[in-house]
Amino acid sequence: MELTYTGKTKDVYELPNGNYLLQFKDDVTGVDGVFDPGANTVGLTIEGAGRAGLKLTKYFFERLNEKGIPTHYIDADIAQATMTVKPAEVFGKGLEVICRYRAVGSFLRRYGLYAEEGQALDAFVEVTLKDDGRGDPPISEDALDMLGILSKEEYQILKDLTQQIAGIVKDELAKKGIELYDIKFEFGRTGENRQIVLIDEISGGNMRAYKDGEYVEPLELEKMFL
């Protein structure tokens, strides 16, 4: 097994059969010990965070697979905190796709002149470049096409999948009285037909969820939801 990438919250290994093994770590993103799903630094380490993130990820990817939504998921081993996935090729050097139901986080920091905190948003989709050095800048559909990162046809597929998947997560959380404010996904191309599939994870670290108007911490989310 060969270590191919050391991420902030996961390590990526290549298995002898070509599949990837994602090792979930107890590191979470944030600043100065405070969790922030949008942050580009490891802010704190929480015992059990990796396993909690994997449990949620396993749950959601299995629901998505049941619904026929294409993902990289093969299986997960909770005890080992690992997930086996199909290898994917990301768009450009990697994109994040965000779906927003309420105005918080970077949306509010950017558009605060026009939006109020917590204002309802209609599954608003935006794409950012994975570029830590430049603070993950948002990028438009036209710029993605012009820079050869994503064609307009692919953008539409990505946007549709994002809204569909976010809707499923939102409905699942709602069953437990939890409201999804925003969520971040990654996509890539897999297989010979280069199908666009959901990759990476779906955990508390990738979303903002609230219960009775109060923010639910990632670890708490796992306990509350599962």
Ligand X SMILES: Nc1ncnc2c1ncn2[C@@H]1O[C@H](COP(=O)(O)OP(=O)(O)OP(=O)(O)O)[C@@H](O)[C@H]1O
| Between 10 and 100, CB nearer to ligand X | 10
Name the segment binding ligand X (CB under 6 A); options: 5-13, 58-66, 102-110, 210-218: 5-13
| Between 95 and 102, CB nearer to ligand X | 95
130 touches ligand X (CB under 6 A): yes
CA atoms within 13 A on the CB side of 137: 7
184 touches ligand X (CB under 6 A): no
Number of residues that bind ligand X (CB under 6 A): 19
Q: Which of 28, 56, 81, 88 binds ligand X (CB under 6 A)?
A: 88
Name the segment binding ligand X (CB under 6 A); options: 1-9, 50-58, 74-82, 145-153: 1-9
Give whole-number Cα distances, 182 to 162, 213, 217, in Å.
11, 14, 14
CB of 17 closer than 8 Å to CB of 2:
no
Residues 207 and 46: their CA atoms lie apart, in Å, by 17
Chain residues in the site for ligand X (CB under 6 A): 5, 7-10, 12, 20, 72, 85-88, 90, 94, 130, 186, 188, 199-200
